[in-house]
């Protein structure tokens, strides 16, 4: 059994859905499990719904209509019969969303976020499943929330592996294409999410539970590149990578692979392919357990909108283990994503990503014990397997706030 994952860019319009169908038609007899993200920028549109629901109620109805109109446009191009059941199905999903908005009593942002954001995946998979069946590509739609069980850490849920594996493994008994949602899980009757871009992780969870032969992530790029083509010209394809190298790239923020995706695949030696949905016959990138598959060229990663926090002791005393433990406890409590740390005798610097908008609380807690300054909207550059040319290209004409170098990795923070 193989697992396929299609991201939002691959199904952003009717032509994308048709292309997905063509790819699956080639593999239909292998009965893959297919994991699908929300269409196009639907997740962003639903984030607008969330913000309007909590803070700008006068704009709420219009933002919901944007989501509905976008999907109606796609299905109008896919289904020539205006009486097709898909139109009712999509309207019903939107009505379910509206019902939640009317009946919800919680004001917890993270809880509300997870209950609303998942409607994007419910819409996309409903459309794709129906379209495939119309074409004769038989598939069974699954509600992933009945299979991936998590704790109640909303927006970054932790998987209950024992229960999840038990439920997913029952799917091995049937020869059919299973089609389900990425990104989502459940804690009881409440929807949870696995973190932004968590659909890759969903595919890995299914692969692990089903002892799959491989996972293929279909992207709008040729495979894993040595740099983001939005920021670097002449980005090159990395045809092969080891798990360990891919995990390093994911840890530092390479956007092609979700950081959690590789761990369950590595445990069962499941090969990961990253391929282009625009050119499905091309090689793409193959990732497996071969430790010798190290890139021969520098790999560049850019993370924007970071925050550089600089901490020093109030009384000119050393920053020692006890202080560092205290600092990380605060960062952990407020779910700050740490991307770089550096310390000296009396100071400690950390570059973080404020995913949950908790920076204010973090700074307040730090200020009780330390002198604290911070610089928002900095950019973190990471270069794996750097050389002198790579160093020059990254540092040239930049205001460098912090630099750190190990044997394999260079990181700099710039403003």
Question: Tokens for 117?
Answer: 């954001």
CB atoms within 10 A of CB 183: 29
Question: Tokens for 279?
Answer: 């050119």
Question: Tokens for 38?
Answer: 């929300």
Nearest to 246 by CA among 218, 283, 275, 272: 272
Question: Tokens for 307?
Answer: 């925050």
DSSP state of 158: P
Q: Which residues are annotated as a binding site for ATP?
A: 230
Nearest to 153 by CA among 299, 355, 312, 6: 355
In sequence order, which residues have a C-beta less than 8 Å from that of residue 269 and are 6 or more positions away? Answer: 288, 289
Half-sphere exposure of 48 (CA within 13 A, CB side): 14
H/E element, 56 = none
Q: 3-state DSSP call for residue 216?
A: strand
| Angle subtended at Cα 289 by Cα 283 and Cα 292, rounded to the nearest 5 degrees | 85
Q: Which residues are annotated as a binding site?
A: 230
In sequence order, which residues have a C-beta less than 8 Å from that of residue 279 and are 6 or more positions away? Answer: 222
CA–CA dist 115, 15 (Å, integer): 29
CA–CA dist 389, 225 (Å, integer): 18
């Amino acid at each position: 059994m193989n697992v396929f994952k299609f991201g939002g860019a691959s199904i952003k319009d009717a032509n994308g859905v048709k292309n997905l169908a063509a790819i699956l038609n080639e593999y239909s007899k292998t009965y893959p499990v297919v994991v699908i993200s929300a269409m196009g920028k639907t997740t962003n549109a639903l984030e607008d719904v969330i913000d309007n629901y909590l803070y700008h109620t006068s704009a709420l109805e219009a933002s919901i209509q944007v989501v509905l109109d976008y999907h109606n446009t796609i299905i109008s191009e896919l289904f020539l019969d205006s009486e097709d059941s898909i139109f009712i199905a999509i309207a019903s999903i939107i009505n379910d969303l509206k019902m939640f908005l009317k009946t919800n009593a919680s004001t917890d942002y993270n809880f509300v976020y997870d209950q609303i954001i998942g409607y994007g995946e419910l819409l996309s998979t409903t459309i794709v499943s129906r379209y495939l069946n119309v074409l004769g590509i038989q598939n069974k739609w699954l509600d992933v929330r009945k299979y991936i069980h998590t704790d109640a850490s909303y927006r970054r849920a932790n998987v209950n592996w024992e229960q999840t594996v038990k439920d997913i493994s029952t799917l091995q008994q049937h020869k059919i294409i299973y089609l389900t949602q990425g990104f989502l899980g459940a804690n009881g009757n409440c929807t949870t999410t696995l973190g932004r871009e968590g659909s890759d992780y969903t595919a890995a969870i299914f692969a692990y539970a089903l002892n799959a032969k491989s996972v293929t992530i279909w992207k709008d790029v040729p495979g894993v590149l040595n740099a983001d083509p939005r920021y670097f010209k002449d980005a090159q394809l990395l045809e092969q990578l080891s798990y360990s190298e891919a995990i390093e790239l994911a840890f530092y923020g390479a956007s092609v692979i979700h950081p959690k995706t590789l761990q369950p695949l590595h445990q069962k030696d499941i090969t990961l392919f990253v391929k282009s949905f625009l050119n499905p016959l091309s090689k793409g990138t193959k990732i497996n357990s071969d430790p010798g598959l190290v890139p021969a060229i520098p790999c560049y990663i850019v993370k924007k909108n970071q925050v550089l926090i600089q901490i020093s002791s109030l009384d000119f005393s050393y920053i020692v283990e006890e202080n560092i433990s205290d600092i990380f406890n605060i960062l952990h409590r407020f779910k700050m994503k740490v991307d770089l740390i550096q310390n000296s005798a009396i100071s400690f610097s950390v570059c973080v990503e404020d995913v949950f908008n908790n920076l204010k609380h973090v700074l307040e807690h730090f200020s009780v014990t330390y002198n604290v300054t911070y610089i928002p909207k900095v950019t973190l550059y990471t270069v794996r397997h750097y050389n002198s040319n790579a160093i020059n290209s990254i540092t040239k004409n930049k205001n460098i706030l912090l630099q750190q170098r190990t044997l394999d990795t260079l990181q700099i923070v710039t403003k």
